[in-house]
Structure 1
Amino acid sequence: MTEPRSKRDAVKSDSNTWVYSFQGDASKCDQLNALLCTKLGFPSCYDISTQTYTRKVDLIIANAVSGLGATAQKICGDIRHLANWKEIEEPFEASQIGSSAMAYKRNPMRSERVYSLARELMSKPANFANTLSDQWAERTLDDSAIRRMDIPDMFLLSEAILLGLDNITDGLVVYPKRIQSRVQEELPFMVTESIIMKLVAKGASRQDAHEEIRVLSHQAGSVVKNEGKPNDLVSRIKGTEFFKPIWDELDGMLDPKLYTGRSVDIVERYCGVGGPVEIKLVPYMKYITETSTAELSV
């Protein structure tokens, strides 16, 4: 977005009028443009423009701003999914009503609001693209009305989205025990790849190991889905002779931390002291430290 912000239109009407005004000295048109840009604090003007700058600039800015909408929708979509699984919750006031019909509900209303606003923000570039592509030879006035609507809307939507995200993230609640419970439900399935690798290292055929674990996994999955019982894959493995070479190692393999990869290191490196996030926030720390969390009415 730097380039569109750093330039302005040249002084334009009918270019012949200016040449005539300067008695045929076209260089004075360029001098006037340079003088006007200096007076207004712009480093330069667009090399080529009509009486308006190219509407490509609006499209470039709209695409950049709409990226905020996509990011916000991704964040709030994940929050909504995790809230459905009861792993996290957004801030919830003591007297807040989650549903007028079902009193137990704690719907992520803030995330739903941001999600909806983000959807509208993401739609804006289409209008600017249509405006640009439909300018005919030089320019038509059909661009005026939609620009007066969509340019302010775009930034008002962005502000509302950011205020919502600020409120949500400041009071986000995480339930580690619930997360641990859900991880334990899936852990027997998560460990299957490691089991195959260990069997192969002990001389087993990878194809045979894969087939044996596939059959037992589907049997265990059927018990969970059709009978509503706990995942019994581990006990099935311990009761199948094919897996005897890794029986004594199996319990030690059921540690969730073995299957998080480098996630902890990556998050700490990216978000920790001296990381990219902190560096990006340095120019805005004054505003971050001096402002309070946005308040929303839900």
Structure 2
Amino acid sequence: LLIKESLEIVLNDLKELRTILKSLAKEHKYTVCIGRTHGQHAVPTTYGMKFAIWLDEIQRHIERIEEAKKRILVGQMSGAVGTMASFGEIGLKMQELVMKDLGLKSALISNQIIQRDVYAELMSILAIIASTLDKIALEIRNLQRTEILEISEPFGKKQVGSSTMPHKRNPIRSEKISGLARVIYSNVIPALLNNPLWHERDLTNSSVERVILPETFVLLDEMLKNMKKVLLGLEFFPENIKKNLYLTKNLIMAEPLMLKLTEKGMGRQEAHELVRRLAMKAFEENRGLLEVLSESKEAREYLTDDDLASLKPENYIGMAPQIVDNVIAYIEEKEKTEES
């Protein structure tokens, strides 16, 4: 029964977080930023894409919980070893009536206890949710680093960042979220170890569950509440977003440049090798890629001044806005289904 109530709290928190992320995805659908792979500048993306990815993931967590309820919210009163011998012929009916009154599904079969694979699944779902919050928090922490500073969690006017460094604006809420996630991850292993019990039951699971179940729900609730506060007060630094977008002096436009050359008739491998050489030259000479490109006779045989002028990071976000719209439409359809 406590699990039932706790899951409703988690679901409500997730739905509130979903609303916040949907709003951010809409607002920043066209906020172009640099995408990073392996920690390196890749090609442009949008903040709307980031938020929509997290939004889609939160929706899956809502669906995971709803789908798993039929396996998790199960009860039994089946006697010492599950046979209901002490209840006589009314055993099955009595269990069904009591569980119905409690709002639980009546177990099809059990021994003295509900089998602990049920709680192992529950703990795994809660840990997966924690991992998403950890992922979001980690992204915010990285993007708040002094060298990047594209976004920042909210920082109060009288908030103290460090006891010895007055200038610090530490991402303490995001760090707290990542820290608490580690505890939740560690609670999954004991839940798995609780499944193998002696014969019709022993007590090795009991003492563990009294710790890991309430602890995990409390910690996850704290993580969700902190994440909502972080996202609701998220600060953006447009100047830094644009600065980082152009930090490589258009080296990030190597891919669209290669595609443009191919479109104009150059062979794919030939275009790749030419752009690779030009990109390496631009990097070594600390010059802009388009500047080096404009001096290349090979490239200028295929590319006009208008072609070069069109090679801007803001123009290379593909179908990102439509993808974000698709996610938002999908989420809003799910919300309507929940209300009906």
Which TM-score tier does this pair reach, normalised by the shorter chain? 0.7 to 0.9
SS of aligned partner of 1:81:
helix
Aligned to 1:105: 168
Larger relative CO (CA 8 A, sep 6+): 1 or 2? 2
Measured after TM superposition, the shift of residue 257 of structure 1 is 2.9
Counterpart amino acid of 1:242? E
> Aligned partner of 1:99: which letter?
S
Alignment partner, residue 116 of structure 1: 179
Question: CA distance change for structure 1 residues 258 and 98 in 2, over 3 Å: closer, same or farther?
Answer: same
**AA in 2 matched with 1:110:** R
Whether the 8 Å contact between 2:100 and 2:106 is mirrored in structure 1 is no
Counterpart of 2:294 in structure 1 is 238
Alignment of 1:229-268 (within 5 A): 231-244=287-300, 245-268=302-325
Deviation at 1:47, TM superposition (A): 1.6
TM-score normalized with structure 2 length: 0.72
2:70 counterpart residue number = 3
- Where does residue 213 of structure 1 map in the other structure? 275
Separation in 1, partners of 2:80, 2:126: 31
Helix, strand or coil for the counterpart of 1:185?
coil
Q: Please say if 1:276 is aligned against 2:330.
A: yes
In structure 2, relative to structure 1, the CA distance for the partners of 1:264 and 1:35 (3 Å cut) is same
Counterpart in the other structure of 1:92: 155
Contact 1:59 1:129 in 2 (8 A): yes
CA contact (8 A) 1:191 1:253 kept: no
Amino acid at match of 1:233: L
Aligned length, in residue pairs: 269
* Corresponding residue of 1:202: 264
Residue aligning to 1:160: 222
Answer yes or no: is the 8 Å Cα contact 2:251–2:279 preserved in 1.
yes
Q: Given that residues 8 and 45 in structure 1 are in contact (C-alpha distance below 8 angstroms), is that contact kept between their aligned partners in structure 2?
A: yes
User: 8 Å contact 2:130–2:220 — kept in the other structure?
Assistant: yes
CA distance in 2, matches of 1:11, 1:204: 76
- Match of 1:19, as an amino acid? A
Change (3 A) 1:255 1:132: same
* Structure number with bigger Rg: 1
- Change beyond 3 A, Cα 1:222–1:109: farther
Q: Calculate the TM-score normalised by the size of structure 1.
A: 0.82
Alignment partner, residue 127 of structure 1: 190
| In the alignment, structure 1 residue 19 sits paired with structure 2 residue 85 | yes
Cα distance in structure 1, aligned partners of 2:92 and 2:310:
74
CA distance in 2, matches of 1:211, 1:91: 46
Does the Cα contact within 8 Å between 2:76 and 2:113 map onto a contact in 1? Answer: yes
Unaligned residue ranges in structure 2 (runs of 5+) = 1-67
**255, 277, 289: which one pairs with 1:193?**
255
Determine the C-alpha separation between the residues in 2 that align with 1:98 and 1:284. Answer: 42
Q: Output the amino acid matched with 1:129.
A: L
What is residue 94 of structure 2 aligned with on the other side? 32
Structure 1 pair 238–30 and aligned structure 2 pair: CA distance change class (3 A): same
Residues 206-215 or 62-71, more deviating: 206-215
* CA distance, structure 2, for counterparts of residue 187 and residue 161 of structure 1: 39
Q: 1:246, CA displacement in angstroms?
A: 0.7
Secondary structure of the corresponding residue to residue 303 of structure 2? helix
Secondary structure at 2:250's aligned position in 1?
Answer: helix
- Identity among equivalent positions (%) equals 27
Quote how far apart the aligned CAs of 1:71 are: 0.6
**Corresponding position of 1:293:** none
Q: Partners of 1:205 and 1:279 in 2: how far apart? A: 45
Asked whether the 8 Å contact 2:194–2:205 carries over to 1, the reply is: yes
